[in-house]
Structure 1
Amino acid sequence: MTTPGGIGPRLRELREARGLSLSEVARRAGIGKATLSGLETGVRNPTLETLYAVTAQLGVPLSAALAADPAQEVSGAAVTATLLRTFEEPGVTFELYRLVVAAGTRQSSPAHQPGVTEDLTVFAGVLRAGPADAPLLVGAGGYVSWRADVPHVYEAVGGTDVQASLLIRTPHLR
Structure 2
Amino acid sequence: MRVNPLVARSGARVREVRTSRGLSLSALAEAAGIGKGSLSELENGVRNPTLATLYALAAPLQVPLATLLADTPGATLDGDGVAVRLLDTRRSAVDVREVYLLDLAPDAVREATGHGAGVVEHVLVTAGDLEVGRSEATATVTSGGSHSWTSDAAHVYRAGPAGAAAVLTIVTPA
TM-score w.r.t. the length of structure 2 is 0.91
- How many angstroms does 1:65 deviate by? 1.2
Deviations 1:8-49 (A, max 9, x none): 111101111111111111121122222212211122211111
Task: Tell me: CA distance 1:13–1:110, structure 2 relative to 1, closer, same or farther (3 Å).
Answer: same
| Code of the aligned partner of 2:89 | T
Find the counterpart in structure 2 of residue 130 from structure 1. 133
Deviations 1:48-87 (A, max 9, x none): 1111111121111111111263310111323211111111
Q: Give yes or no for contact 1:124–1:162 (8 Å, CA) kept in 2.
A: yes
Q: Which sits farther off after the overlay, 26-35 or 140-149?
A: 26-35
Q: Give yes or no for contact 2:106–2:159 (8 Å, CA) kept in 1.
A: yes
Q: Give yes or no for contact 2:89–2:97 (8 Å, CA) kept in 1.
A: yes
**Dislocated runs of 4+, deviation >6 Å:** none
Alignment root-mean-square deviation, CA: 1.6
Find the counterpart in structure 1 of residue 18 from structure 2. 15
Find the counterpart in structure 2 of residue 35 from structure 1. 38
TM-score w.r.t. the length of structure 1 is 0.91
Percent of aligned pairs sharing the same letter:
44
- Aligned residue among 108, 111, 116 for 1:108: 111
Task: Tell me: CA distance 1:35–1:102, structure 2 relative to 1, closer, same or farther (3 Å).
Answer: same
Q: Which segments of 5 or more consecutive residues in structure 2 lack a partner in the other structure?
A: none
Q: Which segments of 5 or more consecutive residues in structure 1 lack a partner in the other structure?
A: none
Task: Tell me: CA distance 1:115–1:68, structure 2 relative to 1, closer, same or farther (3 Å).
Answer: closer
